[in-house]
Structure 1
Amino acid sequence: MAKEDLELEDEVTVVEDEADESVEAAAEVAKTNLTKRRIIDNYLEERRLQKQLNDYDFDL
Structure 2
Amino acid sequence: MSTDKEELSIEDDFVTADDDVEPQVEPAKTNLSKRRTIDNLLEERRLQRQLADFDYDL
CA distance in 2, matches of 1:56, 1:46: 15
Work out which of the residue numbers 37, 40, 49 in structure 2 matches 1:39.
37
Deviation at 1:29, TM superposition (A): 1.3
Higher helix share: 1
Stretches of structure 2 that go unaligned for 5 or more consecutive residues are 1-24
Q: Distance in 1 between matches of 2:46 and 2:39?
A: 10
**Alignment TM-score, normalising by the size of structure 1:** 0.53
The count of residues paired between Structure 1 and Structure 2 equals 34
* RMSD over aligned Cα atoms: 1.4
Give the aligned partner of residue 55 of structure 1.
53
Identify which range, 50-59 or 28-37, moves more after superposition.
28-37
Q: CA–CA distance in 1 between the matches of 2:53 and 2:30? A: 35
